[in-house]
Structure 1
Amino acid sequence: MEYFEIVEHVPDKSGKGFLIAAIDFKDPKFIRVLASEEPKAYTNIAVNGNRAYFGEKEIGTVVDRKDSSQVKVSTDYDIKYTGGYSLDGKTVYLDEHFPKILRVEGKEISTEESIGLHHELPEKWLSDLGYEYPHAHEIATGIEKKYVESKGVTWKGYCTEVDKNLRLVYRNTLEKSPPSLDLAPYLYCRDREALKEIRESK
């Protein structure tokens, strides 16, 4: 049995029930379930194969599933926003100058895991499903937070270390941007200077 945290549910367009989006933040893994009933008091959903359950009650079927096993993390490029993803979602990017390991409160945190696989990747999954960038970013930040806290450090301590490096990366002039970088975050933020720099450095 696998367990996922529900991040959103909406009525299914067919009128047959509810479409539930849920994430296992540890791996991470993402599913969508077509359920016969609304979660209401439930915050988690259990899955066995393609069958989904609230508690012991079977309530629906998994209709979409994604995980990080087929995704590559690349640190070969300059990324203005530190992290990013390819248009096809098969590659997650982390700026080559950003530390691969952050030392936070006496512990080591892999940024390929925390930023790459536990923020950028879920953000891409959600964006591809039609979530607007701010909403996808907010959910992805929550997933990153859960992952970091599961490693025994505080979110505040982690963010302090991340922010130091974010500012340094953003100030760098891009020299080598990935040709397949998804520009959706930059377009949403209307960051014209960053977009110009990215396009000139491909």
Structure 2
Amino acid sequence: MRFENEVKHKSEDIDEDVLTDAVAALQRRVTVSYVFDIPYIAGYSEDAKTIYIDRHLPRTIPWKGVRVRLAPFLVTHEIVEKALLDELRLHYLHAHQIALRAERDAVKAAGLNWRSYQAVMKAHEKQIDEEVLKRVPRRLDLTPYRDLDDFAVLERLTKAGAT
């Protein structure tokens, strides 16, 4: 798809429709995988071509009578974070904070309440973080775990097959 065809809305100001276009464009650039166990809910491949979302996380949440997909928001977060790590060599904590704000704004642009969205994420975070890792992608980027000195998770990941 040509870049100009992805832009359906134009504005120089902060605009929810433009952000929604951007979120859709980001999602078209990666493959999303739901078949692995991913600590911290989501992650990315070393080459940034695949976004991994933990297989236990629901794919949708109910919001005002409809089911809303979670992937576009998580993909936005993971792509922004990975780009900041790789292209600008930021520390994970800084990249994560910027990515979290992009994710939050994408959630709000979609008409969801950020606190409600976060409640769903927090409800699954602990059980995902404590799960026995059975399926781990071989090419999962381990930078977040290294930068946080999360040696316990790193050990679990490497034992389960991440390189």
- Is the Cα contact below 8 Å between 1:25 and 1:118 reproduced in 2? no
TM-score, normalisation: structure 2: 0.81
Which residue of the other structure, out of 120, 125, 130, is the alignment partner of 2:83?
125
Task: Flag the structure with higher helix content.
Answer: 2
Aligned residues: 148
Identity of aligned residues (%): 30
Quick check: 1:180 aligned with 2:139? yes
For residues 138 and 4 of structure 1, the distance between their equivalents in structure 2, rounded to whole angstroms, comes to 25
TM-score, structure 1 as length reference: 0.66
Q: Report the Cα offset of residue 195 of structure 1.
A: 0.5
Aligned position for 2:98: 139
CA contact (8 A) 1:86 1:182 kept: yes
Verify the 8 A CA contact 1:25 1:143 in the aligned structure 2.
no
Instruction: State whether residues 133 and 157 of structure 2, in contact with CA within 8 Å, keep that contact through their aligned partners in structure 1.
Output: yes
* Structure 1 position 134, deviation (Å): 1.3
Code of the residue aligned with 2:133 in structure 1: it is L
Paired residue type of 2:57: F
Query: Please, which runs of 5 or more residues in structure 1 have no aligned partner?
Result: 7-23, 30-65
Residue 59 of structure 1 is matched in structure 2 by none
What pairs with 1:165-176 in structure 2 (closer than 5 Å)?
165-176=124-135
Q: 1:28 offset after TM fit, Å?
A: 3.4
C-alpha contact 1:104 1:161 (8 A) present in aligned 2? no
Equivalents in 1 of 2:47, 2:153: separation in Å?
Answer: 21
Deviation at 1:27, TM superposition (A): 4.1
Q: Which residue of 1 aligns with 2:156?
A: 197
- Per the alignment, residue 38 of structure 1 pairs with none
Aligned partner of residue 92 in structure 1, secondary structure: strand
What's the CA shift for 1:78? 0.6
Unpaired runs of at least 5, structure 2: none
